[in-house]
Each structure stands twice: as C-alpha cells, then as structure tokens.
Structure 1
Amino acid sequence: MATLSSLSRQHVLQAIEEYDQRGEDAFLAVYGFAPQGAWSIQHEGRSYDLPAVVGVAHRFATGRIATADDIAGALAIAAGILRKRGFDVTQPGGAPAARTSTRTAAPKAPRAPRAPRAAAAPTTRRAAAPEETPAPVCPTCFMTLPATGVCDTCG
C-alpha cells in the first residue's frame, strides 16, 4: 500500500493539470488505470478519477507512481487526505464523502479545581556570554592558524 500522507495540495494540482492536458482516456492509459466512476475528486467544476489522480500525485510527491492495486484498499483514506488538502471528494453513490473521525467522544468527567499556584521564584539574570573572537587565519592559504601562530602549510 502506498504512503499517501506525503501528498500535498500542490502534488494533487499537478496531477489534475496533467489530467486536463492529456485528457481522461490518455491519462488513464498512460498510467495504467481503468476508468471507474465510484470515487471522484471535484475541482473547479470538473470531476476526476480519484485513484488515477492520487496515483499520479503520489509520483509527484515520491517519484514512484502508486498503482491501482496500491490504492484499491485505501480509497477512503485517500479521500480523507484530499479533503484535508481542500478538495471535494465524492464517494460511491455520488454523495460527498462524509467526514469521519477515528476519535470517539467520551463523556467528560468534571474536573477538580486546581490548587492555587505558588509564587514564582525570583528570576536571576545570567551574565551575557563573552563575544567570541574569530580565529586567526593564514593570509596566504586562508587556513586557521594553530596556537603557535605559524601556518602548518605555509610555514
């Protein structure tokens, strides 16, 4: 399975731009995707094949195209990632993909009141670090001079 978290909005827009330039049939054929109408991504009033766009966007993100087999089990995850990137995704049946959360809301227990904070300890100021002087450099070869002051290279 492909790692889809590396997809950015820019990668998806690059894939959509290539989709528009090639046309749907050529785009799908070049990258080995079969047309499927179940999942789609909506952008600027147009509908695009979600697995194909995600596969090519993955190529822009990582240099490796994610095949239809790589994406097949992760279409819901891909839809969630694309929604987070600001895209409209349609799931099977033509309905907008529902925003799901893996978190479950647990009832909150009442909190006990906090104890008052103790007074802060007085702050002490540190002395400023002395300014570091640059190391001496040989005027001939521009190497840092050793402690003797005589360049090991030039003599």
Structure 2
Amino acid sequence: MATFSSVTRQHVLQALAEHDSRGADEFLATYGFTPDPVHRLTHEGSTYDAPAVLGVAHRYATGRLATPDDFRSGMDTALAILRRRGFEVSGPAPVAPRAAATRTPRAPRAPRTPS
C-alpha cells in the first residue's frame, strides 16, 4: 500500500497539469484508473478524479505510481492528504469514531418496605 505523506501540493499541481494536457479519459487510461464519480477534487473551477490525481502525484513524489489497488483500504486517509494540502475534495465524509456511551449513574433504590 502506498503512503502519501511525501506528496506535496506541488506534486498534486503537477498531476493536475498533466491531467489538463492529456484530457480526463487519456489520463485515466494511461495510469489504469477508472472514473470515480464519488471522490472528486475541485481546483480553480475544474473537477478531477481525486484518486487518479493523487496516484499520479505519488509518482511525481516517489517515482512509483499509486495504483487503484493502493486506495482500496485507505481512501479516507488518501483524501485527507489532499485536504491537508489545501485542495477541496468531495466524497463521503469520513466516519468519526463513535464515542463510548456514557451512562449516568443512578441513585440507589430505596429498600422496599413490607406492606
């Protein structure tokens, strides 16, 4: 699995520029991605396939393309990287861990009196 911590904003901008020069269909086909209508990156009024852009940005950062398989178990983490780099990303919001239920202690019951 790819880690995306080495990807900078500049790497993402390089991937966006390549996307723009190739066009969406060729960009996706070149790198083996299929369109992802859910996870979108918006930059300067244009929308892009977020996983594909991040995968190519990873190639600019490390020399190794992050493939679609690299996103299967960590899409939320990958999208968070894009957000931390200042990009607007749409898609399902990450699910926050549920807080443990807190129980309010009840007052002890008064003993029953025989009738």
User: TM-score of the superposition, structure 1-length normalised?
Assistant: 0.59
Aligned residues: 98
Counterpart CA distance in 1 for 2:78 and 2:50 is 8
Counterpart CA distance in 1 for 2:13 and 2:73 is 23
**Amino acid of the structure 1 residue aligned with 2:21:** Q
Task: Say whether 1:36 aligns with 2:36.
Answer: yes
Paired position in structure 2 for 1:56 = 56
**Amino acid of the structure 1 residue aligned with 2:50:** L
Counterpart CA distance in 2 for 1:4 and 1:40 is 17
User: For structure 2, which runs of at least 5 residues remain unmatched after alignment?
Assistant: 100-115
Task: Give secondary structure in 1 for the equivalent of 2:81.
Answer: helix
**Amino acid of the structure 2 residue aligned with 1:60:** Y
Counterpart CA distance in 1 for 2:15 and 2:58 is 9
Q: Which has the larger radius of gyration?
A: 1
**Amino acid of the structure 2 residue aligned with 1:23:** G
Provide closer, same or farther for how the CA distance between residues 85 and 49 of structure 1 changes in structure 2, counting only shifts above 3 A: same
User: For structure 1, which runs of at least 5 residues remain unmatched after alignment?
Assistant: 105-155
User: TM-score of the superposition, structure 2-length normalised?
Assistant: 0.79
Higher helix proportion:
2
**Amino acid of the structure 2 residue aligned with 1:88:** E
Counterpart CA distance in 1 for 2:19 and 2:75 is 19
Q: What percent identity do the matched residue pairs reach?
A: 56
Counterpart CA distance in 2 for 1:90 and 1:4 is 18
Counterpart CA distance in 1 for 2:40 and 2:18 is 16
C-alpha deviation, 1:49, in angstroms = 0.3
Counterpart CA distance in 1 for 2:72 and 2:24 is 19
Runs in 1 of length 4+ with deviation above 2 angstroms? none
C-alpha deviation, 1:101, in angstroms = 7.4
Task: Say whether 1:4 aligns with 2:8.
Answer: no
